[in-house]
């Protein structure tokens, strides 16, 4: 294999740049040309390619986001769009792809493989940590650290005014960020979509506080995918029930996706980037890289997109003891 393309797709996550750099470094090590495809599948369709080199990858390991930029592509969903993408890949001499993103990214390169026989290896890039086949996805560690730092600051205010704060974190389909950030912050309540009893349990705790007239700082972490509702809705329920509680809401939002990646995400991006290039060199395809313990493993795309990773019940159980 003489030329490999790498791109990022879907939501950005800290560590993507570390993975891009690792693809370039590994390709250089093996005498392979590496090409960055800009703006995900949109750039693939439009032939928006740049050759990676020491200059444009220098220092990117420290940067959040993705230097190749990311975008969702409606055009790629059409046969005509994918045909254009293939023609540009062919003209550029790209013989294999490293796709950094989530399950939608994996589905896209699977279709390219089926229609045009282009080998591809995936790297899981999402702060939600919900991709099957890996214990950690790129960006998750940084996102949790960011959330914890924000919550620590919020609790300073909560303690100063004896307030209750509902803090909403990202996690549309999975509660990993809320669960672990809540545990690390000493939250009194953690609401995640995977735990159907969390709201009733929180209500029971607050009922005792309300009857006792307790007015102390209290933190409730809410995953944006919580089935009972978002942080604003839930806080209003509490205000209505207990008007003496001083309740505030903070939504952390996209601040969790930005910022310099943690050491863990930098190293993880590096290891996965090396593994992805070496897998392509070995003739492998349709596989997503993952981490199990200290070992890099591979999961077939078909399995990775069909399965959905959720927090384990034991961690949820322990989190309730610690609240």
313: in domain: no
Give CA–CA dist 82/64, Å, rounded.
29
126 with 149, same domain: the answer is no
pLDDT for 315 beyond 90: yes
245 with 292, same domain: the answer is no
151 with 122, same domain: the answer is no
190-212 residue pLDDT tens: 999 998 878 888 888 888 776 65
User: Based on the number of CB atoms within 10 Å of its own CB, is 215 exposed (0-12), middle (13-18) or buried (19 or more)?
Assistant: middle
318: in domain: no
Domain assignment of residue 269, given as a range: 3-139+261-306
264-276 residue pLDDT tens: 999 999 999 999 9
Give CA–CA dist 138/12, Å, rounded.
10
CATH of residue 187: 3.40.50.460
207 with 277, same domain: the answer is no
For the chain, the straight-line distance linking the first and the last C-alpha, in angstroms and rounded, comes to 53
pLDDT of residue 58: 95
Domain count of the fold of the chain: 2
Both structure tokens of 232: 């604003």
124 with 156, same domain: the answer is no
98: in domain: yes
Between 197 and 252, name the one with better pLDDT: 252
37 with 146, same domain: the answer is no
133 with 265, same domain: the answer is yes
Active site residues: 128
17: in domain: yes
Place of tokens 């912050």: 185
pLDDT of residue 162: 85
User: Which of 198, 224, 257 is the last residue in one of the domains?
Assistant: 257
- 179-193, 203-217, 278-292: which range is least confident on average? 203-217
61: in domain: yes
Place of tokens 């986001």: 65
pLDDT for 146 beyond 90: yes
pLDDT of residue 211: 60
Place of tokens 């470094």: 25
Give CA–CA dist 69/38, Å, rounded.
6
312: in domain: no
Quick one: average pLDDT of 145-166? 92
176 with 269, same domain: the answer is no
Cα dihedral across residues 198, 201, 205, 207: positive or negative:
positive
What DSSP element (H or E) covers 272?
helix 263-281
Quick one: average pLDDT of 52-64? 96
297 with 167, same domain: the answer is no
- 25-39, 77-91, 143-157, 211-225: which range is least confident on average? 211-225
Residue 272 CA: distances (Å) to CA of 41, 240, 278, 301 = 21, 49, 10, 15
């Amino acid at each position: 294999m003489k030329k490999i393309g790498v791109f990022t797709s879907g939501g950005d996550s800290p560590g993507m740049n570390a993975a891009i750099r690792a693809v370039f470094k590994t390709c250089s090590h093996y005498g392979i040309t590496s090409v960055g495809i800009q703006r995900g599948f949109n750039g693939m369709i439009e032939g928006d390619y740049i050759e990676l080199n020491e200059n444009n990858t220098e220092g990117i390991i420290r940067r959040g986001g993705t230097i190749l930029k990311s975008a969702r592509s409606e055009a790629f969903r059409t046969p005509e769009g994918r045909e254009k993408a293939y023609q540009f890949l062919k003209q550029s001499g790209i013989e294999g792809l490293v796709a950094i993103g989530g399950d939608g990214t994996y589905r896209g390169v699977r279709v390219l493989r089926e229609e045009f026989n282009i080998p591809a290896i995936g790297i899981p890039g999402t702060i939600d940590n919900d991709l099957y086949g890996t214990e950690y996805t790129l960006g998750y560690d940084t996102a949790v650290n960011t959330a914890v730092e924000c919550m620590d600051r919020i609790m300073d205010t909560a303690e100063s005014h004896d307030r209750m704060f509902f803090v909403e974190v990202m996690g549309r389909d999975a509660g990993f960020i809320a669960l672990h950030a809540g545990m690390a912050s000493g939250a009194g309540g953690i609401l995640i979509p995977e735990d159907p009893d969390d709201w009733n349990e929180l209500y029971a705790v607050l009922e005792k506080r309300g009857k006792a007239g307790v007015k102390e700082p209290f933190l409730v972490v809410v995953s944006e995918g919580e089935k009972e509702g978002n942080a604003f809705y839930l806080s209003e329920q509490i205000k209505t029930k207990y008007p003496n509680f001083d309740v505030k809401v903070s939504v952390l939002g996209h601040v969790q996706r930005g910022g310099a990646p943690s050491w863990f995400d930098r190293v993880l991006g590096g290891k996965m980037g090396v593994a992805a290039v070496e897998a392509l060199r070995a003739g492998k395809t349709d596989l997503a890289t993952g981490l199990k313990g200290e070992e890099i493993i591979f999961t077939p795309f078909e399995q990775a997109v069909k399965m959905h990773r959720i927090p384990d019940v034991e961690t949820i159980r322990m989190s309730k003891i610690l609240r």
